[in-house]
Chains A and B, each alone.
Chain A
Amino acid sequence: MTRNRLALTLAAPVLAIVVATIASAIALVLTGYAPGDVLSILADQATSVRDLLRTVNRAGPYYVSGVAVAIGFKMNLFNIGVEGQYRLAGVVAAAAGAALPLPGPTRVIGILAVAVLVGAAWSGLAGLLRAYRGVSEVIATIMLNAIALGLTPFLLTRYFEDDSEGFAVRTRPIPSGGRLPFLDFLIPGGAPAGARFNPFILIAIAVGVVYYVLIWRSRFGYDLRASGSNPHAARASGVDAKRMTVIAMAISGGIAGLVGLSTILSTPYSYTEESFLSGLGFTGIAIALLGRNHPVGIALGAFLWAFIDVSRTALSSATPPLPREIATIMQGIIVFSVVIAYEVVARIAERRDAAEVARRTEDPPPTTEPSTAGAAS
């Protein structure tokens, strides 16, 4: 049974990759390009330290965004508001990080705390509305996005702008105590010219570990997953559904608040509308789907997404140039393939489980030991 399950677990991503490759190739052929050209660009990219480094740097924020969305998904809450949460958290954390009188490296902690609190407060509003007023969290977070996307530049230009420099609209740079060092020393042979290893990856890894322990190992996570799986049964078992909704939304937003810190704890050490990544919140939804809300799955999804992002430059600079939109098309196809493949495999697994149970229990002596009992000891 366990071997079958493992095979089924692996079947889904393999199926997805095969379907995505075929569908992408068809899309390329139909638009008059050779799939082989794109494939060789991707292959080159996979062996380039520089490109891989760019991929990992990009994947960090994607991962955190994916986890933020996944926490909501685990409880059947759809937090579309990651976008607004991390933007607002980013600008406030950047401004606070520059202004707070914190000694040395505690400034990093301060920035993290502010970002988490702002994100949690912003999404917590949606949680409160959902729990106590029955407002769909989808609607509430969309509205809060709109407000946050207006509020962020307003706060930046009105209150947080650094006047010492003439041109760019940005917050004051974070002092050295609030800056994380680059991780270039981790790269064998040193960092290639013009590329640095963004330390944000450490925060992403920490988020992944916390996510796993919290959701799969803690009592709180059990309650949260139970609420997502069957809210009625969870409530009957003693879970306070309203409280869970608010807390789950707040945690999701708190994690979301960290998404933008890769450009605050690292270069350019401040919030500017130019350098700050946009759209990460929505990408996080796709990545959470790709990763099936699993900490490792989300990591793979984030890496894949970032990898294709990075290929855009290579695609348009190839000879002859390939349309960079191909990358977006591939990303879309991958999400579709993965969602479909997992659904297909889940149904097969469900049938197999039922059949297995029926087969094993058709005529057993009533006191047979469960065959997988050894797993527990």
Chain B
Amino acid sequence: MATSTTAAAEPPPAAGDRPPAVELAGITKRFPGVVANRDVHLRAEAGTIHAIVGENGAGKSTLMKILYGMQRPDEGTITVEGEPVTFKRPTDAIRAGIGMVHQHFMLADNLTVLENVVLGAEPKVPVFLSRGAARRRIRELGEAYGLTVDPDALVETLGVGDRQRVEILKVLYRGARILILDEPTAVLVPQEVDDLFRNLRELKQEGLTVLFISHKLDEVLSVADTITVIRAGTTVATVDPSEVTARDLANLMVGHELPTPETRESTVTDTVELSLRGVTVAGAGGKPALDSIDLDIRRGEILGVAGVEGNGQTELINAVMGLVDLVAGTITVGDDDVTTWSTRARREGRVACVPEDRHRDGLLLDAPLWENVALGQQTRAPFVKGRFIDRDGARGRTERIVRDYGVRTPGVDVPAGALSGGNQQKLIMGRELTSDPRVLVAAHPTRGVDVGAQAAIWDELRQARASGLAVLLISADLDELVGLSDTLVVLYGGRLVARVDPATTTLDDLGCYMTGTDPTGGPVGSEEPS
């Protein structure tokens, strides 16, 4: 593939005579059997926000790991502020002024903000931590960059946005001048995203350089000074956000039209398949994690649940699947009151589940694919005959799923851990949809899946819906929720705070509900579903 590093963007005037903050030239990184990065060229000017966009699996993360010293490139050079460097480990990168804010926060919940910030950067000689000096430093940094967090607050009491600010402070405290942010908006609601972007602009004004990894094109367009697009491991273009549209970027990213998750005509019937009444689940600290949830999902209906992660989604999934004890309430599937049923009984009663975290809850990574496909249906044909596993039956079903759902694998005997995330997800979707379900709980069905597979999964969900499946869809992707759902509810603090029509709602309104405010201004009312 030709590398067209079109330097369409002139360095912003603020850059002045400073050398580029980071320059990557000809970076190639091979893993056994795959080339993760191929001849990557990237030039981030000092004092700018430089976005790196690409699909999942395009090689963004590997590239940033190389820059942060977590991986070593096979070929190519890295130049930081004009100096050629070689990083053997992240410590080297930190010393060169590079800091990384990981997608998944790496904070100790039971320590204070201050303790988290100094963790790993404690003074070497004195035995005791100088909290005073550290607190002063954190305050200074906070004021300089608009990152206001109370240094003495316990991290476990902080919201997601504050936690992210702590992560950024941590990196600044170590003297970073170049910040790498890996998908920083993935866990934020729209309003928090705005706050983050304000912080990033302040960092930029203070002369810091931000490398911003994302696949959310609107965000990238609004915050970045320069955008580099990565496709299939290589840089395909560097563009100025003022000269491109989201659609241009999308085309650069994927090379074809972006699919949209739009559901066509309604297939909702009158028969209620899954019904929750007053479902309450205990949470930490006396506050229920789920509070009197009432829900009805009809045959042929997709009910979407929006909400910031950690507002009761996990408990909702666990409640439906029988993985958590209810404090109160009943759950009915069809005509069966399944409240006291075991997980196995519910699975056998044709309640299927695509779990939130496929590695944790959905797969046996070191077991072959066919054993993975049996998971959750190991009491049913074709996976068992009597009390024994039917290997041929399981292999046959697995081969069918591999074929029908486009799972890319050399065979059904390779361990599930050898597949890419997207293929693992396709395998799970296939497994659950071929289990002849009445109810499907689908949590983040397209998380970490490439665009092509995403469209296929959306299609499958729509088809299943058309054939009468009741789907409880939980997702962090608002486009997916709005596009697929027949009904959309918002979960906040363990309560259903809103029920909206996905056809008429706006992302802003959803964002308001998700953060516990009413878009019309008033306090949020618990809108009881009819």
Contacts and interface: CB of A to CB of B under 8 A. Distances in A.
B378 A360 contact: no
A114 B348 CA distance: 37
A376 B392 contact: yes
Contacts of A351: 32
Contact of A236 (B34, B321, B413): B321
B410 interface: yes
Given A222-B378, A354-B418, A361-B408, A370 B399 contact: yes
Contacts of B418: 350, 353-354, 356-357
Contacts of B31: 354-355, 358
Would you call the interface of chain A mostly helix, strand, loop, or mixed? helix
Interface residues of A, number: 45
B516 interface: no
B362 A357 contact: no
A248 B248 CA distance: 58
A236 B410 contact: no
A106 interface: no
B415 interface: yes
B56 interface: no
Interface string A130-152: 00000000000000000000000
B229 to A, nearest CB: 21
Contacts of B408: 357, 360-361, 364
A239 interface: yes
Contacts of B342: 238, 240
Nearest to A238: B344
A219 B365 contact: no
B387 A220 contact: yes
Contacts of B399: 370, 373, 376
A229 interface: yes
A225 B384 CA distance: 15
Interface in A269-308: none
B453 to A, nearest CB: 11
A226 interface: yes
A361 B347 CA distance: 32
A236 B411 contact: no
Interface in A341-377: 350-362, 364, 366-367, 369-373, 375-377
A217 interface: yes
B367 interface: yes
Given A223-B378, A229-B364, A357-B419, A367 B403 contact: yes
Interface in A234-272: 234-240
A1 B355 CA distance: 31
Interface stretch (B187-195, B272-280, B286-294, B369-377): B369-377
Contacts of A361: 408-410, 423
Interface of B: 31-34, 321, 323, 342-348, 353, 355, 360-367, 371, 374-376, 378-379, 384, 387-389, 391-392, 395-396, 399, 402-403, 406, 408-415, 417-420, 423
Contacts of B412: 370, 372-373, 376
Contacts of A232: 360-361
Contacts of B420: 357-358
A230 interface: yes
B344 A239 contact: yes
Contacts of A366: 406
25 contacts: A1-B411, A1-B414, A218-B387, A219-B387, A220-B387, A221-B389, A222-B378, A222-B389, A226-B378, A232-B360, A236-B321, A236-B355, A238-B347, A238-B348, A238-B379, A239-B344, A355-B33, A356-B414, A357-B408, A360-B410, A361-B409, A370-B402, A370-B403, A375-B395, A376-B391
Given A226-B367, A233-B375, A356-B33, 16 more contacts: A226-B375, A230-B365, A232-B361, A233-B363, A352-B32, A356-B418, A357-B414, A357-B420, A358-B420, A360-B408, A366-B406, A370-B409, A371-B411, A376-B396, A376-B412, A377-B392
Interface in A327-352: 350-352
Contacts of B384: 219
A218 B389 contact: yes
What 4 A-B pairs are tightest by C-beta distance, nearest first? A355-B33, A238-B344, A372-B411, A355-B32
A358 B33 contact: yes
Nearest to B456: A366
A219 B33 contact: no
Contacts of A222: 371, 374, 378, 389
Contacts of B414: 1, 353, 356-357
A360 B366 CA distance: 19
Contacts of B396: 376
Contacts of B378: 219, 222-223, 226, 237-238
Contact of B395 (A1, A360, A364, A376): A376
Most buried by B among A234, A354, A369: A354
A232 B402 CA distance: 24
B399 to A, nearest CB: 6
Contacts of B33: 354-359, 362
Contacts of B323: 235-236
B31 to A, nearest CB: 8
A370 B364 contact: no
Contacts of B411: 1, 370-373, 375
Given A218-B387, A233-B363, A371 B379 contact: no
Contacts of A377: 392
B331 to A, nearest CB: 16
Interface in A98-152: none
B376 A372 contact: no
B413 A372 contact: yes
B77 to A, nearest CB: 26
A359 to B, nearest CB: 4
Contacts of B347: 237-238
Contacts of A355: 31-34
A8 B132 CA distance: 58
Contacts of B34: 355, 358-359, 362
Interface in A205-224: 217-223
Contact of B344 (A221, A240, A352, A367): A240
B367 A225 contact: yes
A357 B371 CA distance: 18
A357 B409 contact: yes
Contacts of A238: 342-348, 376, 378-379
B355 A230 contact: no
A151 B398 CA distance: 52
Contacts of B355: 233, 236
B175 to A, nearest CB: 36
B525 to A, nearest CB: 35
Nearest to B357: A232
Nearest to A356: B410
B213 to A, nearest CB: 22
A373 B415 CA distance: 15
Given A226-B364, A352-B32, A235 B343 contact: yes
B362 A233 contact: yes
A236 B361 contact: yes
B374 to A, nearest CB: 7
